Chains A and B, each alone.
Chain A
Amino acid sequence: MSMIVLHGRKVVGGVSEGEALVTRETISGWGGIDPRTGKVVETRHELCGVSFKDKILVFPGAKGSSGWSQYFHLARLAGTAPKAILYNRTTTKVALGAVVMRVPALTDFDRDPLSIIEDGDWVRVDADRGIVEITKKSS
């Protein structure tokens, strides 16, 4: 079974694994997700209606309201947060959101996770060591 390994920069430490949920579209927090269900609610978003609860969320970065961190903070308190997050573009919104979500988080990868990880792949994130191990769903 083949495993792909990515290296990134630690944003929030910790180790976690789970099924990948991947989007190429940036995510809004306030007005973009429902923390009660962990679902994306932005009407024209490709993940609208899909829940990130217990997934390894792979996305380009954050957009929209400054309520980003607060909404993902509420998701943690409601038990709907993702298990880990992997993103490309560092902004204050996504960095603060990762910190208060308190889940393993990585960014600044040696290869673009959006071109390698697909929905349903099994992903193990060791944020302390900056390593992402991907087992493809198809393999």
Chain B
Amino acid sequence: MKLTDVEQGMLDGAEGAAVQKAMDLLIRYGEALGAERLVETNNVCGTFVAAGPMIREFASKGNDAIFSEFNLDSTEHVAMPPVKAYTCHLIMGIDSEHPEMRQVSEDAARVQTEGEKFFGAKGINMLSTCTPYQVGNVPVMGEHCAWMESSAVIYCNSVLGARTNTEGRESTGAASITGRIPYFGLHIPENRHATHLVDVRVSVDDMMDWGLLGYAIGEMVEEDIPVFRGLESQPSLIKLKHFGAAAASSGGVEMYHMPSVTPETRSEEGALGGSAPRASWIYGPQERRAAYEKLNSTASSADVDFIMLGCPHNSIEQVWQVARLLEGRRISPNTSLWVFTPRALKEVADRSGYTDVIKAAGGHVLSDTCPAISRIMPKGTRVVATDSAKQAHYLPAITGVQAWFGSVADCVEAAVAGRWTGGLR
């Protein structure tokens, strides 16, 4: 790889041992990709605090050791310097403010709190959400970013027109203290054209429709870039948030084009960059039903114990919708209902009275994590209902539960009745 003088200096140790390790990793990674150079970035979203159950076991060695091993891929433990690039923390292991989540040891909770202090002091913003673009980190068109979190990456590229590949824990760690990331993939304008065409022949309107479309096309195009034909309704932030998360779960979609909706193109031809699509797919009633059936393939018992809403983390609009559906009602004594929203939006939900409405109905508003990340659910949970295609995809694999996927209204009805009565309509 070609390095600038400044980058060569970092590799030679001019900025200390940690930066040297970071540059060494970026070069190993860049060469593995076949990249020719690095690009400057001043917008990093990554994971630093020892959050997952396996990394917590490592935590006794201290936060410099965690940073060295998991953010720099360095077996030698070096001291973490302050970050050089603007860096935000993504989702965490637990919501330390809520006793419902306290199924982990005091020790694990302490590891997280101390980690937040340590990495916060290094300059990492504790947004603690999978949706940084909902709480202040909104990159602009063309901005080079180094983001983890597949659902945020697809949103960043497609809806905002900023440029990021799906980075990992180690590469975002290295980017945070060097301000560099390999110039590869979606950083390069020619690679951002659509390669595949999806012809939508069924109405895609409500949240569930958008989740089903995302889940279906993720399996169709895998890592490729689709352009859509035939979408008629205007999507909103929450619909594209759900759509993208689903597409990045069933496949590896990092970017898509919807002419006149997403910013990089106004036409199908423009999205394709003058080339013919390598393949075309049809999304019709059959494909929609198949996506629904796949998402519900793990569920057999209608007795629902746990309703999970807010993956990716709910917008304030979604928290408001849940509150409206629950107002004056009470969930079944046999079910639990957890709603996840970024901590900054939880503050707004509290002030707006939504948290009280949800609590009065027997639910909880939580932040910072989700059941798939934390592996924490109400004790004894066997059957989950969720309005998230992503959570329905991952929870059964990660925790062994059954999962029902449906609309937010289906989920709230399941919470009240204790039984799943949702379906494809």
Contacts and interface: CB of A to CB of B under 8 A. Distances in A.
B239 interface: no
B32 A105 contact: yes
Contact of A100 (B73, B248, B393): B73
Nearest to A65: B150
Contacts of A42: 397
A100 B149 CA distance: 18
A65 B249 CA distance: 7
Nearest to B149: A66
Contacts of B52: 70, 74
B294 interface: yes
Contacts of B355: none
Contacts of B251: 26, 63
B14 interface: no
B58 to A, nearest CB: 8
Contact of A90 (B34, B153, B248): B34
Contact of B168 (A32, A43, A78, A96): A96
Interface string A112-136: 0000000000000000000000000
B222 interface: yes
Interface size class of B (residues with CB under 8 A): 35 or more
A36 B54 contact: yes
Contacts of A78: 54
A77 B57 CA distance: 11
B118 interface: no
Interface in A40-85: 41-44, 61-70, 73-74, 77-78
Interface residues of A, number: 39
Contact of A26 (B70, B222, B398): B222
A24 interface: no
Contacts of B171: 69, 92, 96
Given A66-B150, A70-B70, A93 B33 contact: no
A9 B297 contact: no
A97 to B, nearest CB: 7
A31 to B, nearest CB: 4
Contacts of B248: 64-65
Contact of A69 (B33, B170, B294): B170
Nearest to B398: A31
Interface string B249-273: 1011000000000000000000000
Nearest to A29: B168
A137 interface: no
B398 A99 contact: no
Given A31-B397, A100-B73, A64 B29 contact: no
Nearest to A96: B168
Contact of B170 (A65, A73, A105): A73
A67 B396 CA distance: 17
B195 to A, nearest CB: 13
Contacts of A43: 297-298, 396-397
B32 A61 contact: no
A95 interface: yes
Interface of A: 9, 11-12, 26, 31-32, 35-36, 41-44, 61-70, 73-74, 77-78, 89-93, 95-100, 105, 108
29 contacts: A26-B223, A31-B372, A31-B393, A31-B394, A32-B397, A43-B396, A44-B294, A63-B222, A64-B252, A65-B248, A66-B150, A66-B153, A66-B167, A67-B148, A69-B169, A70-B52, A70-B168, A70-B170, A77-B58, A91-B185, A91-B223, A92-B166, A93-B168, A95-B32, A95-B33, A96-B170, A99-B25, A99-B28, A99-B32
